[in-house]
Amino acid sequence: MKDVIENKLKLRSVKPTAMRLLVLQCLMEQNRALSLNELEALFENADKSTIFRTLKTFQENYLVHRINDGSGAIKYALCDDDCICSLEDNHIHFLCTKCEKTYCLKDTPITTPNLPNGFRANFANYLIEGICSTCT
Amino acid sequence: MKDVIENKLKLRSVKPTAMRLLVLQCLMEQNRALSLNELEALFENADKSTIFRTLKTFQENYLVHRINDGSGAIKYALCDDDCICSLEDNHIHFLCTKCEKTYCLKDTPITTPNLPNGFRANFANYLIEGICSTCT
DNA sequence: CTAAACTTTGCAATGGCATTGCACTCCTTA
DNA sequence: TAAGGAGTGCAATGCCATTGCAAAGTTTAG
Ligand SMILES: [Mn+2]
Ligand SMILES: [Mn+2]
Ligand SMILES: [Zn+2]
Ligand SMILES: [Zn+2]
């Protein structure tokens, strides 16, 4: 288990510090997107800015992607191993308005529409709000 | 011109105060989504909280919809006259990363994907980032 | 092995934006 | 004409993201 986590870091050339291992493990265990505050709450004695910088490092090295779900706080979720956060890697995110949890719907790829003339797309953030399967 | 604006308000049963007429006119003239700060800057001597409450009233009466474009500030844009801000009224928004302007792509309706079992959609926010036609 | 150089962490600000309390003004109505 | 209600301005407040700085930990050259 710890090996899997360390490998994920090594794969992206990120040095495995204690904090990084913990945060990465957390993100792997929860299969959903977490906010900075949610992550902080899961640890008790870790500083928020350290977690913030951990996530920033992760993000810069394609270990996580950030999700703007309109909840006021940015959510972070694990990237796939081959993710480079390109337009092709973007996928739909779902925010349940009941349990307030945000999920990556990686099996539901984003279909980029035909844009008006002269518009070019680099990144897509497709967020669907509704009721999730456990809250139905 | 002023008639058109007043009619828009009457259509939604919103009393036409001076501020409301001004804000609505502003939103009609710019054909794009504006943030609270952008609107405030366009007026000089209007209070931000008044504009905020004006937009809130507009939003509650389907005169404007709010757009989360990840820029840090919520953007507001005019609704169509028959809009009730339902899932069917949701449309794609485009943020140009060069000029920082956000546009409603009302001609580019959102295709709601098939969600996993048990997930139900109520609202969609589909944001595309890229370069707009005037910045190309 | 040891000291300098670099990285990571913790703590305490800072800054931006949304939102609200309160008093004042303005408008409507009995 | 006075009372009630709606709209406005100003000044807070709160939340979240982000950063400066110094301490602690790690790596590397000598
Ligand atoms: Mn995701
Ligand atoms: Mn729009
Ligand atoms: Zn749920
Ligand atoms: Zn542009």
Q: A119 to chain B: which residues are within 8 Å by CB?
A: 94, 130-133
In whole angstroms, C1 C1' to A17 CA is: 25
Query: Which residues are paired to A121 by β-bridges?
Result: B130
- CA dist B81 to B29, B70, B99, Å? 16, 27, 28
The token pair at A98 is: 């009941």
Query: Which residues are paired to B33 by β-bridges?
Result: B102
- CA dist B45 to A3, B27, B28, Å? 61, 17, 20
The continuous run of DSSP H or E covering B25 comes out as: helix B18-29
The single-letter code of the amino acid at A63 is L
- What's residue B12's pLDDT? 96
- DSSP-derived letter for residue A104 is E
- Could you tell me the pTM of the whole model? 0.93
- The chain B residue lying nearest A68, using CA atoms, is B70
User: Which nucleotide has the shortest C1'-to-CA distance from A21?
Assistant: C8
Q: Where are the domains of chain A?
A: 2-130
Helices (H), chain A: 2-11, 18-29, 36-43, 48-60
- CA dist A64 to A42, A55, B112, Å? 18, 7, 25
Q: A116 to chain B: which residues are within 8 Å by CB?
A: 105, 107-108, 133
Q: Residue A117: which of B77, B113, B94 has the closest Cα?
A: B94
Put simply, the answer to whether A132 touches B118 (Cβ < 8 Å) is yes
Going from the Cα of A93 to the center of ligand 1, the distance in angstroms, rounded, reads 6
Per-residue pLDDT tens digits for B1-33: 778 999 999 999 999 999 999 999 999 999 999
- The chain B residue lying nearest A115, using CA atoms, is B108
The answer to whether A70 contacts chain B (CB < 8 Å) is yes
The answer to whether B96 is annotated as binding is yes
- What's residue B91's pLDDT? 95
| Average pLDDT over all residues of chain A | 95
The string over B1-29, giving b where at least 16 C-beta atoms fall within 10 Å of a residue's C-beta and e elsewhere, is: eeeebeebbeeeebeeeebbbbbbebbee
User: Which nucleotide has the shortest C1'-to-CA distance from B48?
Assistant: D9
User: Which nucleotide has the shortest C1'-to-CA distance from B72?
Assistant: C17
| Average pLDDT over all residues of chain B | 95
- What's residue A122's pLDDT? 95
Which protein residues, judged by their CB atom, are less than 7 Å from any atom of strand C? A 15, 17-20, 46-47, 49-50, 53-54, 57; B 35-37, 48-49, 52-53, 56, 72-74
Per-residue pLDDT tens digits for B93-115: 999 999 999 999 998 888 889 99
Instruction: Check if residue B44 sits with its Cβ under 7 angstroms from strand D.
Output: no
The token pair at B95 is: 């943020």
The CATH number fitting domain B2-130, selected from 1.10.10.10, 2.60.120.890, 1.10.600.10, 3.40.630.10: 1.10.10.10
- What's residue B2's pLDDT? 75
Angstrom distance (rounded) from CA B84 to CA B82? 7
pLDDT surpasses 90 at B44: no
The token pair at A41 is: 């709450």
Residue showing tokens 């709000």: A129
The answer to whether A135 is annotated as binding is yes
pLDDT surpasses 80 at A121: yes
How does residue B45 score in pLDDT terms, banded at 50, 70 and 90? confident
The answer to whether A79 is annotated as binding is no
Q: Is B81 helix (H, G, I), strand (E, B) or coil?
A: coil
Edge to edge, what strands does the sheet with A64-67 contain? A34-35, A75-78, A64-67
Query: Strand pairing of B91-96 and B120-131?
Result: parallel
Per-residue pLDDT tens digits for A17-66: 999 999 999 999 999 999 999 999 999 888 999 999 999 999 999 999 99
How does residue B86 score in pLDDT terms, banded at 50, 70 and 90? very high
Residue showing tokens 């008044």: B50
As a whole-number percent, the residues of chain A with pLDDT over 90 amount to 90
Q: B111 to chain A: which residues are within 8 Å by CB?
A: 111, 113
